[in-house]
Structure 1
Amino acid sequence: MDILPLNIHSCGRGHKKEWFQQIRRDFNPAVVAIQETKCGTIDDSWMESVWLSPKFKFKKKEAVGFSGVMFLIWDTNTFNANQAIKGEFYLVIKGHWVGIVEEIAIVNVYSPHSHSKKLRFWKELESLINFKDMLWIICGDFNEKQDEKNVKLTLKNWCGSVLKNLDSDITEHAKTFEKWDLIAESRSLTDAELSFWLNERKIWLEKEKLKLNMLKKKARIKWALEGDENTKYFHKFIRHRNNKNAIHGLSINGVWSEDPKEIKDEVFRYYSNLFKRGSSINTGSLNFNASLISHEGNEMLEAPFCEAEIWHVIQCCGSTKSPRRHRFNHKFYTKYFWLIKEDLKIALDWFWSNYEISRGCNASFITLIPKKSNPVALGEYRPHHSHWKLL
Structure 2
Amino acid sequence: MVLLQETKRSTIDEKFVISIWGREQMDFMAVDSAGAAGGLLCIWNPEVFQLVDCCSNRNFIILSVVDLPMMERKFTWCNSQEGEKWSRIDRFLLNPEWLQMFNFKLWGLPRMISDHCPILLMEDERDWGPTPFRFLNAWTLHPKFRPFVENTWLEANVVGWASFKCLQKLKILKLALKQWDKDVFGDVEHKLNQVEEEIHALDLSAEDRPLSEVEQARRREAKGIAWKLSKMVEWAWLQKSRIKWSTQGDRNTKFFHIMASSRRTRNSLCSIVVNGIVKEDPMEVRAAVQQHFINQFTESSRIRPRLSGPFLSIGGTEDVQLLEAEFSKAEIEAAVKSCEGNKAPGSDGFNHMMFKKCWKVIKADVLQFMKEFHQNTKLVEALIALLLL
Regarding TM over 0.5, the answer is no
TM-score normalised by length of structure 2: 0.33
The higher relative CO (CA closer than 8 Å, separation ≥ 6) is in 2
TM-score normalised by length of structure 1: 0.33
Question: Rg larger in 1 or in 2?
Answer: 1
Q: Which structure: greater strand fraction? A: 1
